[in-house]
Structure 1
Amino acid sequence: MMTLHDPEHTATPRRRAFIGVLLCNVLEWYDFVIYGLLTVYISQAFFPRHDDTAALLATLAVFGASFVMRPLGGLVLGGLGDRKGRKPGLVITAGLMGVGTFAIGILPTFEAIGLAAPILLLLARLVQGLSAGGEWGIANAFLLEASPEGRRGFSTSFLSVTVAVGSGLASAVTAILVSTLSPESMKDWGWRLPFLIGGSLGIVALWLRTSMVETPVYRRATTAVTSTAAVLRRVRRPSLTVIGFTMHWTVCYYIFLVYMPLFGQRHAGLSAAQATWSNTLSLVVIILLVPLIGRLSDRFGRRPFLMCSCLLVLVMVIPALWMIVTLRSFPLVVAVQVLCGVAIALYSGPAPAVVAELFSTPDRSRWSSVSYAIAAAVFGGFAPFIAVWLTSTLDNPLAPVGYVVVASTTSLLVVWRMPETAHRSIS
C-alpha cells in the first residue's frame, strides 16, 4: 500500500499514474466496442452481400473470434506484467490495440480484394483481442496495488468506469455519425472514421503510459522459484471462482450494451440513431453509479452488491424484453436500458477489486487476466453471435433471454459461496 516512504507514489505522481492507466483504458475499450456498434456497416464492407443475415453472422463471428485471443493475451502479456512489472505490459497492450484498430480503418473491402478482406479483418481483430486479454488484468492489478488502504474497491471501480466511458464514447461517435451522414456515406466511408480516430489516439496512449512508475506493492513482492504444478494448484480455485463470477458480468455487458442496439433496430423499430443514443444513456448511468458502488463496497463488502445485480437481472430480463418487442416504444427501450445500466453498475463497482483480491501479487496480473479472459471469450465475446443465432434458429426475438438467465444464475451461486474479499490485506 502507499506510504510516506514511497516518494514516487505521493499524491501528484500517483494521480498522474492513475490518469495514465484510466485514459488509456478508455481508448482500449473505445477501439474494441466500436466494432460491435458498426457491425451492420462492417458486414456490408467485408462480406458478400447476397445474404444479409449470413454476412451479419460472419461479422459477429469475427467479433467473437477476437475473444479467443484474450486468454492468450492474458497468459503472455499478463505474465509479462507479473515478471517484468505492470508498466511494460501496459505499454505493449496500448500499442497493439492502436495498430489493430487503425488497420481496420484502412483495410480494403470485399469488392476490392475478395476473400482477403475478411481474412485481414480477422487478423486485425485477433491483434485487438490479444491486447485486450492482457490489458484488463494488468491495469486492474496496477490500480489495486497503487490504491490507498480501505479504498481498493473505489480505485479499481474506475476500471469499470473507463470501460463504460470508452463504450459510451464509441456509442456517441456512432450516434453522431449516423445522425449527420447519409446512409450511403456511412456505408461507403463513414464507418471508417471511428477506427481511424481510435488508431491515432493509440499514439497518445503510448506516450501516457511511458511516464508511469511501478507500484510499491509489486516492487516489494518477492517471487520464489515455484514449479508450474505448484502455481497451478495455487491459482486453481481463485481462477475457477473468477470464471464463474464473470459469467453474469460479461454476458450482461455484451447483451445489454453491444447486442441491444441491434435488437432495438430489428425488433422494436428503432432507427440507428435512436438505438445508439439509448445505449449511450445507459452507459452514462453506469459511469455515474460505478464509483459510488465501488466505494460502498469498501465499507459494506463486495458480495451484497454482486448478488443484488444478479437478482435484478433475473427478475426483470424476461418481462423487459417482452415489452420491448410487444410495445415497440423508444421511451420504453430507454427505460429498460437504464435499468440494465443500474444492474451492470451494481456488479461493475466491486467486481474488479474482487478479481484482483482473489490472487496474490506474483499471480495477480497473469491469472486474473487469463481467468477473466476465458470467461469473456467463452460467455461474453460470442454473446451477440449467440443472441442472433438463437433468434434466427428459434424464430423468437426473446430467445437470448435464456442465455442471460443461465449466466446470471450461475454467477449468483458462485457469489453466494465466494469468500468476502473487501477487508483482506493484499500480498
Structure 2
Amino acid sequence: MDAEAQDNDGSTARDPAARRRHPLLFRVAQAKLRPRWRLSEITVTEEPEIRRAVRAAALGNAMEWFDYGIYAYLAVTLGDVFYSGASEGTRTILSLATFAVSFAVRPLGGAFFGPLGDRVGRKQVLALTMILMASATFSIGLIPSYDTIGLWAPLLLIIARLTQGFSTGGEYGGAATFIAEYAPDKRRGYYGSFLEMGTLAGYIGASGLVLVLTAGIGEDGMASWGWRIPFLIGGPLGAIGLYLRLRLEETPAFVKSEAGRATVAEVTGEAEPALGRKTEGGKAGGKQTPGELRRIMAGQRQTMLLCIALVAAYNVANYMLLTYMPTYLTEVLDWPRAEQLAVVIATMVAMISVVTLVGRANDRIGRKPLLMIGMVGFLVVSAPAYILVRQGAVLAVFGGMLLLGACLICLQGTMSATLPALFPTEVRYGSLAIGYNLSVAVFGGTTPAVIEGLVHVLDTPMAAAYYTMAFAVVGIVSVSLLTETAGLPLEGSPPAVATAAEAEEVVRTQRRNLL
C-alpha cells in the first residue's frame, strides 16, 4: 500500500485524486484508516434541539430572501421612484444594477464574518448579521424619492443595499454551517433542506405581500407610498429572528473543535490562544489577520474553486427563475403585476411542497445524483421552458416555470448539505462564506442585470435560457468532480447521530472494520 493509502488521519478518503488513481486502496483507506471514535466523542443531538437550531437558521435565511425578493418584485416600481430622472427603459436597468451592487460587497462580508464565526462561534455572528440586515431593510422604506431629494435618493438606496450585501456575506455560509453541524450525519440533507425552505418562504412572503398590496391600493398607490410597507415590515421580522438566534446554544461540532484546539495548545505550551478560545478576560482569543485569510485561501484552494463553480451554476439558475422571471414577465410579455406574481407564487408553492422530500432523497441516494439531475435538467429544458413562457398564455407560462422549478429544487434541496461538507470544521464558516459570496457576487447577483442587458443587446428574449444553459455545463463538470459526502461525518468533526443507540452502533461498526 503506498503512502497515500497509508495516511493514518483518513485524509486519503477525501482526496479525489487518490480515489481516481487507486480506487481499491482508497476504499481500504476509507474503511480501515479513518479516525477511531470513542463512544464519549460521538455527538448525540436531540430532536428538539435540532429543530430549534434549524428553525432559527431557516428564519434568518427567509428574512434575507424576503428582503431580496421585495426588491426584485418591485424592481420596476423602484426604478420609477429612485431613478425617475432617467428614461423609462434605463430605469429598470439602473434598478437591477442597484440590486446587483449589493453583491459587490458580499465577499467582503464573507471575509469578515466567516473567519470571525470560526473564531468566536457561529451563534454570535449570525445574530450580528441579522441585526445589520433588518436595519438596512427597514431604512430603505424611509428613503425619500428622487423627485423629493434628487440624487441623494439613489445614493442612500445604494448605501442601504451595500449594508445588506455586507451582512448577507456572513448569513448563508453561517446558517448552512450551523444546520450542518447540528444535524445527524444520516439526516443532514433533510435538515439542510429547511434552509432552502426558508429561501422559498422568504420569496413567497415577499411576492405575496406585494400582490396583496397591489390588489388593495393599485399600481398608483404602490408607486406613491405602498412600496415602502414591505421594507418597513423587515424590521420587526428581523427582531423575531434575532430573538430566536440568541436563544440557541453553539453548535456541538464547533464546541468540540474548540476543546480539541485548547487541549493541543495546553500540551504544546502554545502562548497565543487558539482560535475561538476564551482568554482570562472572557473575550475570544486571536485577532483576525490577513494571515487567516491567506491560510484559508491557500489550504482550501482547490476546494474553494469547486465551491465557487458549484455556487455559480446554482445561483445563476436560482436568480434567473426567482428574481429575474418577474421582471421578464413584465418587460418582455407586458404582464400585469398581479398575474406575474400569481404565477411566480404558484411555482414556488409547488417547489416548497417537495423541498424536504429532495432533502430526504439525497440522504438516501447521495448528493451527487440529485445535483447532476438538476444541472443536466437546466441544460436540457431551459430553452423549451422559455419557449413555453414566450407563448404568453397563463398555462404555458406556468408550465415553463414548473419545468425550471423542478430542476432548481433538485439543487436547492441538496446544496445546503453539500457545501458545508466541503471544508473542515476549523475553517468551515470562513471558507464557505468566502467561496460562496465570491461566486454569488460575480455570477449570482449580477444575473438579472446581465440577462436584461443580453435581452436588449442580442435582441432575443431567449438570452436568459442560453445564459442558464452555459452555467449548467459548468455545474455538470463541477458535480462530476465532487466527492460524495452523504451519511459521512463532517471533516474535522466526530460522527453525529440522533440517538445513543446509533452512537453505540458506530462504535460496533468500527470494531467490525478492524477485524
Structure-2-length-normalised TM-score: 0.79
Q: 1:83 to 1:164 in 2, by over 3 A?
A: same
**Correspondence for 1:121 among 149, 152, 157:** 157
Q: Deviation digits for residues 124-169 of structure 1, max 9, x if unmatched?
A: 0011111111100111111001012311111111111111111111
Q: Are 1:406 and 2:470 matched, yes or no? A: yes
Change in CA separation of 1:8 and 1:324 when aligned onto 2, cut-off 3 Å: closer
**Counterpart of 2:184?**
148
Give the aligned partner of residue 453 of structure 2: 389
Distance 2:218 2:185 in 1: 52
The 3 A distance-change label for structure 1 pair 156 and 7 is closer
Once residues 198 and 353 of structure 2 are traced to their aligned partners in structure 1, the CA distance between those partners, rounded to angstroms, is 11
Residue 286 of structure 1 and its aligned partner are, at CA, apart by: 1.9
Residue in 2 aligned with 1:235?
300
Q: Distance in 2 between matches of 1:398 and 1:317?
A: 9
Q: Distance in 1 between matches of 2:302 and 2:350?
A: 34
Query: Which residue of the partner structure matches residue 379 of structure 1?
Result: 443
Q: Structure 2, unaligned stretches of length 5 or more?
A: 1-36, 265-273, 276-290, 493-515
Identify unmatched segments of 5+ residues in structure 1.
Answer: none
One-letter amino acid of the counterpart of residue 368, structure 1: L
For 1:204-219, list aligned pairs within 5 A: 204-219=240-255
Provide the C-alpha distance between the structure 1 equivalents of 2:60 and 2:435, rounded to a whole number of angstroms. 22
1:89 is aligned to 2:116: no
Equivalent pair of 1:270/1:330 in contact (CA under 8 Å): no
Q: Could you tell me how far 1:267 is from its partner in structure 2?
A: 2.5
Contact 1:268 1:329 in 2 (8 A): no
In structure 2, what is the Cα distance between the partners aligned to 1:200 and 1:6? 39
TM-superposed deviation, 1:209: 1.3
Distance in 2 (alpha carbons) for counterparts of 1:12 and 1:305: 28
Query: Matched residue of 1:16: which SS?
Result: helix
Moved more, 185-194 or 313-322: 313-322
2:326 counterpart letter in structure 1 = P
Structure 1 pair 275–424 and aligned structure 2 pair: CA distance change class (3 A): same
Change (3 A) 1:406 1:112: same
Match for 1:286 among 335, 348, 351?
A: 351
Q: 2:398 is matched with which residue?
A: 334
Matches within 5 A, 1:35-46: 35-46=71-82
Mapping of residues 4-403 of structure 1, within 5 Å: 9-221=45-257, 222-223=260-261, 228=292, 229-325=294-390, 327-403=391-467
Identity within the alignment, %: 34
Q: CA RMSD in A?
A: 2.0
* 1:62–1:125 Cα contact (<8 Å) kept: yes
Measure, in 2, the Cα distance between the counterparts of 1:274 and 1:296: 34
Rg (Cα) greater in structure? 2
TM-score, scaled to structure 1: 0.95
Question: 2: CA distance between counterparts of 1:296 and 1:8?
Answer: 23
Please state whether the residue corresponding to 2:94 is helix, strand or coil: helix
User: More displaced, 397-406 or 143-152?
Assistant: 397-406
State the alpha-carbon separation in 1 of the partners of residues 329 and 304 from structure 2.
Answer: 35
Post-superposition offset of 1:233:
2.6
Describe the shift of the 1:239–1:308 C-alpha distance in structure 2 as closer, same or farther (beyond 3 A): same
Q: Could you tell me how far apart the structure 2 residues matched to 1:16 and 1:290 are? A: 19
- Report how far residue 281 of structure 1 moved: 1.3
After the TM superposition, which of the residue ranges 182-191 and 47-56 deviates more from structure 2? 47-56
**Distance across 1 between alignment mates of 2:251 and 2:123:** 9
Distance 2:388 2:401 in 1: 12
Which residue of structure 1 lines up, in the alignment, with residue 489 of structure 2?
425
1:4, distance to aligned residue in structure 2 (A): 9.1
Which amino acid is the alignment partner of residue 313 of structure 2? H
